[in-house]
Structure 1
Amino acid sequence: MTKMIKLISAPLLSLIMLMGLTSAGHAETTVSAEVGFIFNTLLFLICGFLVMFMAAGFAMLESGMVTSKSVSVICAKNIGLFSIAGIMFWLVGYNLAYGIPEGGYIGSFIPWSDSSAIDTGYSDGSDWYFQMVFCATTVSIVSGAMAERIKLWPFFLFAAILSGILYPIVMGWQWGGGWLAEIGFSDFAGSTLVHSTGGAAALAGAMIIGPRLGRFTKSGGVAPIKPFAASSIPLVTIGVFILWLGWFGFNGGSQLAMGTADDAIAVSTIFINTFLAGAGGVMAAATVTRLGFGKTDVVQMLNGCIGGLVAITAEPLMPSPLAAILIGGVGGVIVVYGTKLLFSLQIDDVVGAIPAHLFAGIWGTLIVPATNPDASFSAQLIGVLAVNIFIFIVAYIIWSIMKATVGLRLSKEAETKGTDVSETGVIAYAIRD
């Protein structure tokens, strides 16, 4: 037993000595440049694969929210868009964002290549991977909003444009040291740069392609729920839990460092606030739907969680726990009434992506100065307007051109049969007589 204890304790003691930890407390904790490089790289890689796991959450959420005749196509879209985003972000996206001149607007159209060095503080490859999964998340937001009536390959084409060009441009404006960073805009992990970008692109697409057949009545009302019933609420719920888990990587990894005790404490604080904001969004949506509409709407609770998480993403470090709950709670309320607004405008967003990502993302970005004294409301407003107007207008033009050329929408016959039959020929759920 003594020999075993020595075998275990020796490497642990060596690690502690290597890290330079002292009994004087974390204020004096230091590590060598190489050890800092290793820890920072591990943060990117571990948080990166948590964010990648969000792709499974999006696939489950969307598969559960669409009708049972459109599930296989959702699966195809989600694994396809993730693959496309990864290729495009390597081909042009990364350097469009990070090759931008200081205070500039656009980087260079060249593939990413690894140039890792210890003095950069982390492996270049780990940073590429971490940023790539953010890019793929942006595209995932568009998928569900336009479900059940868009053709598969035109969607793939738009996914390539969004991941390879549009998202990297606005990403570079802030995280690449571009003009938004120059004016003091603050978006810690992407309430606007990721979520509003995806939401604005989804809004443009939903407006261009129009609602599903029979979704709205001629008098302006919403059609009865049965023909458009979600295929699996349990699947949606599991998807949201996976997204919630992935969000710890999304926000925690955006600290961008784990080489000091202060960084470790900051990541822990971010985890707490991220969790609490999601919880606030859930309970706010539950309360509002119960008091306002007479029933506790589980779909709005689930989307309220996402709205709360999106809202805290712009600044998950500085708020107090109570402030995080309130910020997330307002995000949940925005999701509920944002959904009603889309209904009144007869904009068909199948999964509720636009209220949860676009509307809640705007709120989360604008409220940053309330908890971060270094942020200004004017810079936040300029950033929100610039990103959303740019993405919406360019996406609207691209969707319009695609509609007039390659075509976006399935035929009425194909839509009636279901996208599984018309687009993949693979039926997700067998229908028994």
Structure 2
Amino acid sequence: MVVATLLVILMTIPGLALFYGGLVRSKNMLSVLMQVLVTFSLIVVLWMVYGYSLAFTEGNSFIGGLDRLFMKGLFNAADGSFAMGATFSKGVYIPEMLFAAFQATFAGITCCLIVGAFAERIKFSAVLLFMVLWFTFSYAPIAHMVWFWMGPDAYSAASVVDEMNGKAGYLWQMGALDFAGGTVVHINAAVAGLVGAFVIGKRVGYGKEAFTPHSLTLTMVGASLLWVGWFGFNAGSALEAGNSAVLAFMNTLGATAAAVLAWCIGEALLKGKASMLGAASGAVAGLVAITPAAGNVGLMGGLVIGFVAGFACLWGVNGLKRLLGADDSLDVFGVHGVGGIVGALLTGVFNNQALGGPGLVGDWVTASVVSNSIGAQVWIQLKAVLLTIVWSGVVSFIAFKVVDLVVGLRVTEEEEREGLDITAHGETAYHK
């Protein structure tokens, strides 16, 4: 779990930072790197102050309580003892502080993903103020709804099942499957990014000038680091070094590879040639789609999910983008939104044991595994997707409007033309 946590930090800084940085124009390279680095740092601090408590302590079915405010209770200085946290197996624990650290990196990268949607035109102060609001009112509640439950040992007898279920998050109670964050991370962030792209408006010259990535080499380095780090993200979500982690690991390998091939095939058919940017985008699309499914589907199901996601996200950044008409600078919604939705829904299909999936725990008292009806599970998955879209959409819209009133969202046209590196940070990425 320590290594998995470290790998998620690698995904974010440097992985996501370089992936996004290479995609913008050179005059905005440092601004994107700064937005990712400082957003991640901000969220880690907020997580330690109150975020972890709101997401992962007992409260109601939508938000946690304040038992872990300032991380209190995780470590007892008087006797040197550490609080232990549940995993998914009875009698197996990890230090709760380690779980809190692992989840801090999830909160951090989720907020950093949003940055790509309004890159090259937003005020640095606006990014940070928005992140505080969105993290508090969208990330923490959705994480609580999807992932908070009382742990396997709480289910000691049939008589307490209903009581324990009643203390879990809303979507957990509903039976939504999200292994590592299809709803919590990808759809949640993608909707925030799309709302931001609409509210902030298009970049100066959008549709008239070519906005070509300034360094596809760095984007490739970033995408590679994302793939490497994602093994920590997905396999680590098993919380124990066991079979479930191995399944998640192998699916993260297979689905991503399938998505790379699918995107390249789709691009070759549409445009006559496959591009490096396309292959890298395909990798991210596969990673996104397999996130909710990683430990919840069999290996062939994983390949199908990756393959479908490659084509779906290629449409997301081309056809869907034109339909929506928003200037989502780095295609956050086209990849994370579309990929997250595809992955979440197909998890409901390929979780079924008849299709090679592991099934799901039908009874936590005996930890017996059952196979849900595909239709019923897909319906549950769809409700989780829709709730996440509406929740994040409403919170994001209000948060952007508040930020606009307080500090203003956009830089001036003059500053935008000069580039945010110089105007916001007083630096340049490259010296000619």
Please give the range of the TM-score, normalised by the shorter of the 2 chains: 0.7 to 0.9
The answer as to 2:213 corresponding to 1:230 is yes
Identity of aligned residues (%): 31
Q: Is the 8 A contact 1:96 1:165 kept in 2?
A: no
Aligned to 2:402: 401
In 2, the alpha carbon distance for the partners of 1:68 and 1:393 equals 33
Deviations 1:346-391 (A, max 9, x none): 3112222211111110110011121213451221111111111100
Q: Deviations over 1:2-47 (max 9, x none)?
A: xxxxxxxxxxxxxxxxxxxxxxxxxxxxxxxxxxxxxxxxxx2110
Partner of 1:169: 141
2:58–2:65: 8 Å Cα contact kept in structure 1? yes
**Does residue 251 of structure 1 match 2:229?**
no
1:362 aligned to which of 341, 354, 357: 341
* Distance apart, 1:119 and its partner CA: 7.7
In 2, Cα distance between equivalents of 1:119 and 1:92: 18
Deviation, 1:224, is 4.8
1:58 and 2:21 are equivalent in the alignment = no
1:112 aligned to 2:95? no
Instruction: Say whether the 8 Å CA contact 1:89–1:163 is kept in structure 2.
Output: no
Structure 1 residues 118 and 159: CA distance shift in structure 2, 3 A: closer
Q: Which residue of 1 aligns with 2:253?
A: 275
Distance 2:142 2:58 in 1: 11
Q: What is the alpha-carbon distance in structure 2 between the residues aligned to residue 118 and residue 249 of structure 1? A: 21
1:33-83 deviations in Å (ceiling 9; x for gaps): xxxxxxxxxxx2110000110111111011100000001111211110111
Once residues 430 and 194 of structure 2 are traced to their aligned partners in structure 1, the CA distance between those partners, rounded to angstroms, is 29
Aligned residue type for 2:104:
M
Matched with 2:283 is: 305
The residue aligned with 2:327 is 348
Q: How many residues align?
A: 374
In the other structure, the counterpart of 1:194 is 185
Q: C-alpha separation between the residues in 1 aligned to 2:287 and 2:65?
A: 32
2:195 alignment partner, one of 189, 204, 209: 204
The secondary structure found in structure 2 opposite 1:111 is helix
What's the counterpart of residue 181 of structure 1?
172
Q: State the distance in 2 between where 1:119 and 1:405 align.
A: 40
Partner of 2:41: 83
| Paired residues of 1:85 and 1:164 also in contact (CA < 8 A) | no
Distance 1:380 1:119 in 2: 27
Distance, in Å, in 2 between the alignment partners of 1:242 and 1:132 is 19
Cα distance in 2 for partners of 1:159, 1:405 equals 14
SS at match of 1:108: coil
Contact 1:420 1:427 in 2 (8 A): yes
CA distance in 1, matches of 2:307, 2:400: 33
TM-score by length of 2: 0.83
Asked whether the 8 Å contact 2:56–2:64 carries over to 1, the reply is yes
Distance 2:293 2:34 in 1: 33
Write out aligned runs for 1:382-393 (5 A).
Answer: 382-393=383-394
Of residues 308, 311, 314, the one that matches 1:330 is 308
Q: 2:114 aligns with which of 142, 148, 167?
A: 142
| Counterpart check, 1:122 vs 2:105 | no
State the alpha-carbon separation in 2 of the partners of residues 81 and 401 from structure 1. 18
User: Which residue of 158, 171, 187 corresponds with 2:130?
Assistant: 158
Q: Residues 157 and 269 from structure 1, CA distance in 2 versus in 1: closer, same or farther, beyond 3 angstroms?
A: same
Closer, same or farther: CA 122–289 of 1 in aligned 2, 3 Å: same
| In structure 2, C-alpha distance between the alignment counterparts of 1:347 and 1:153, rounded to whole Å | 22
- How many angstroms does 1:301 deviate by? 1.9
- The CA distance in 2 between the partners of 1:412 and 1:318, in whole Å, is 48
| Cα distance, 1:338 vs structure 2 | 0.7
Task: Tell me if structure 2 keeps the 8 A contact 1:277–1:308.
Answer: yes
- Give the gaps of 5 or more residues in structure 2: 76-81, 87-92, 149-167, 353-359, 361-371
Asked whether the 8 Å contact 2:195–2:393 carries over to 1, the reply is yes
The letter for the 2-side match of 1:248 is: F
Alignment deviations for residues 62-109 of structure 1 (CA, whole Å, 9 cap, x no partner) = 11000000011112111101110101111111111112336x111124
**Pair 1:320-2:298 in alignment:** yes
Tell me the amino acid that sits aligned with residue 257 of structure 1.
Answer: E
Distance 1:353 1:96 in 2: 26
The Cα shift of 1:209 comes to: 0.5
Which portions of structure 1, spanning 4 or more consecutive aligned residues, are displaced by more than 6 angstroms? none
Letter in 2 for 1:350: S
CA distance in 2, matches of 1:389, 1:119: 31
Deviates more, 1:281-290 or 1:348-357: 348-357
Considering only aligned residues, what root-mean-square deviation do their CA atoms show, in Å? 1.6
* Kept after mapping to 1: 8 A contact 2:39/2:108: yes
* Equivalence for 1:21: none
* Structure 2 residue identity aligned to 1:239: G
Q: Which stretch has the larger CA shift, 91-100 or 115-124?
A: 115-124
